[in-house]
Chains A and B, each alone.
Chain A
Amino acid sequence: MTILVIAEHDNKVLAPATLNTVAAAAKIGGDIHVLVAGQDVGAVADAAAKIAGVSKVLAADNAAYAHQLPENVAPLVAELGAGYSHILAAATSNGKNILPRVAAQLDVDQISEIVSVESADTFKRPIYAGNAIATVQSTAAIKVITVRATGFDPVAAEGGSAAVEAVAAAHDAGTSSFVGEELAKSDRPELTAAKIVVSGGRGMQNGDNFKHLYALADKLGAAVGASRAAVDAGFVPNDMQVGQTGKIVAPQLYIAVGISGAIQHLAGMKDSKVIVAINKDEEAPIFQVADYGLVADLFEAVPELEKLV
């Protein structure tokens, strides 16, 4: 068995989610190759070669792959992937965008967002917003899978010494082009990788009040998240949303402030090790999953918490 892992990167830096995906590949067992598709990806390919357990890195360096448009990258992955037993990608917005296109080109069903590997052909994944866990078995010759990063501990980023091999194949479907992007700027840790996450909901009342959470987060070295209600109300940008339709996090500590705890939100954070809820409504569903609950006005509790930690 040889497994192809699609590297998650921005042409400059290899994203940590790649390490969790390699960890899933290691659980399946077999040789692990990593594909780095992009433009000027030399540094990313070198970083991928150092990942523990990786035996080969394929670097597809081409202007057509610069923004990882799925119309161009999917044919590349389908072509290279034909000789592999498994094709894995992280369940990031990129992985989710590209991999189903690859699966359809290979005429196989995909298994999305696995959280555990039972055997080389059997995997567990959450369905119904995490309210049920399905065990799925695949008989496909090539198993195409996205990996939920929080389900697997990352492998070491150093220690490997894989050979980097250039891939010449160029695919340019000519059906799509990149226009531009607007990335949210933040100095805090990345939401999906942070050890501590502080999240605010509708109870924050406005965007300005999130400054209380930022102050607390900076003291804890935490990332700041939000519920869908806070995002829809325009308090914070949507890339901060935690939930079924936003990001899935599983930090050591998740502090939910002014969040009621709708099913949709719980789907994104209920695998956190310790959950703290601060809410003035003692009936709020969030208290049913919280390890420590504090029924209090967040505008008094959060500044006090910031002073005490």
Chain B
Amino acid sequence: MKVLVAVKRVVDYNVKVRVKADNSGVDLANVKMSMNPFCEIAVEEAVRLKEKGVATEIVVVSIGPATAQEQLRTALALGADRAILVESAEELTSLAVAKLLKAVVDKEQPQLVILGKQAIDSDNNQTGQMLAALTGYGQGTFASKVEVSGDSVAVTREIDGGAQTVSLKLPAIVTTDLRLNEPRYASLPNIMKAKKKPLEMLTPDALGVSTASTNKTVKVEAPAARSAGIKVKSVAELVEKLKNEAKVI
């Protein structure tokens, strides 16, 4: 079966971002960008499904600036067969991305679509669920285990009190949680080979999708800073401070 994986180019998770002085957003100029960590897990799961003989082809798709080709090449080096970039210079909302992905799903007809559960920049946690709504497919969000058998997929999900398993009819949408797998690193020979794999460029217009949004970011501010704390010398002093100064125990 064909598996479609969506990946996003985001600021590297180790970077401590800074808010711009004019409060228009965060400063991303000259900041290291990477594939969103949850998307890496999504690519890894697709590659493992292929290694198990379940998946026959892995198509990786990204929606974003032309530079997102780097993240697509990374996915190709990790084992994806071909890539699609829907190029959009402006920042899109999750709904717009879900609509574009729906258009790609209509075109490619995958049996399984795997996305990360959330992007670490917007922290929205929406796109997979929205794509499931637009396609009418079942959704297995926050997956920690994915097992395809016949025409259905069993997804074990991380929920607030523990874990839950649901069975979805294929085609279906799965979003990955951290514990689904440990993503591999791309080897140098595979990075070289990935340069020759096909990468198709599309635009929202070509897909006939409007990316208009009902949300507007008015401003972006730095969070309130915590006032500096003190170091205590002993456990006894700590307990004394908590009882008499902070009054929390």
Which A residues are closer than 8 A to B by beta carbons?
67, 69-71, 74, 92-94, 96-105, 107-113, 122, 126-140, 173-184, 192, 196, 220, 228, 231-232, 237-239, 244-245, 247, 252-253, 263-264, 270, 273-276, 282, 287, 289-296, 301, 304-305, 308-309
Contacts and interface: CB of A to CB of B under 8 A. Distances in A.
Classify the secondary structure of B's interface with A: mixed
Nearest to B98: A104
A96 B158 CA distance: 12
Contacts of A111: 215
A173 B239 CA distance: 56
B17 interface: yes
Contacts of A94: 159-160
Contacts of B226: 270, 275, 289, 291
Given A104-B129, A112-B123, 18 more contacts: A74-B133, A100-B133, A102-B133, A104-B98, A132-B222, A133-B222, A138-B216, A175-B136, A180-B164, A183-B161, A184-B162, A238-B144, A239-B159, A239-B160, A253-B246, A291-B246, A292-B232, A293-B230
Classify the secondary structure of A's interface with B: mixed
A103 B95 contact: yes
A184 B161 CA distance: 6
A140 B248 contact: no
12 contacts: A67-B164, A74-B133, A104-B129, A109-B93, A109-B95, A112-B123, A128-B26, A138-B216, A175-B169, A182-B163, A292-B231, A309-B239
Contacts of A92: 160
A176 B169 contact: yes
Interface string B120-145: 11111111111111101111011010
User: When A and B form their complex, which 3 residue pairs have the shortest distance between CB atoms, in order from nearest?
Assistant: A100-B129, A104-B133, A104-B130
B217 interface: yes
Contacts of A196: 248-249
Contacts of A122: 218
* Most chain A beta-carbon contacts within 10 A, residue among B136, B218, B248: B248
Nearest to B182: A232
A297 B180 CA distance: 33
Given A287-B231, A294-B232, A301-B235, A179 B130 contact: no
Interface residues of B, number: 79
Interface string B97-139: 0100000000000000000011011111111111111101111
B202 interface: no
* Most chain A beta-carbon contacts within 10 A, residue among B11, B160, B239: B160
Contacts of B177: 245
B94 A100 contact: yes
Nearest to B14: A263
A97 B122 CA distance: 17
Given A104-B133, A140-B214, A181 B159 contact: yes
Contacts of B168: 175-176
B209 to A, nearest CB: 13
Contacts of A274: 242, 246, 248
Contacts of B154: 179
Contacts of B161: 183-184, 239
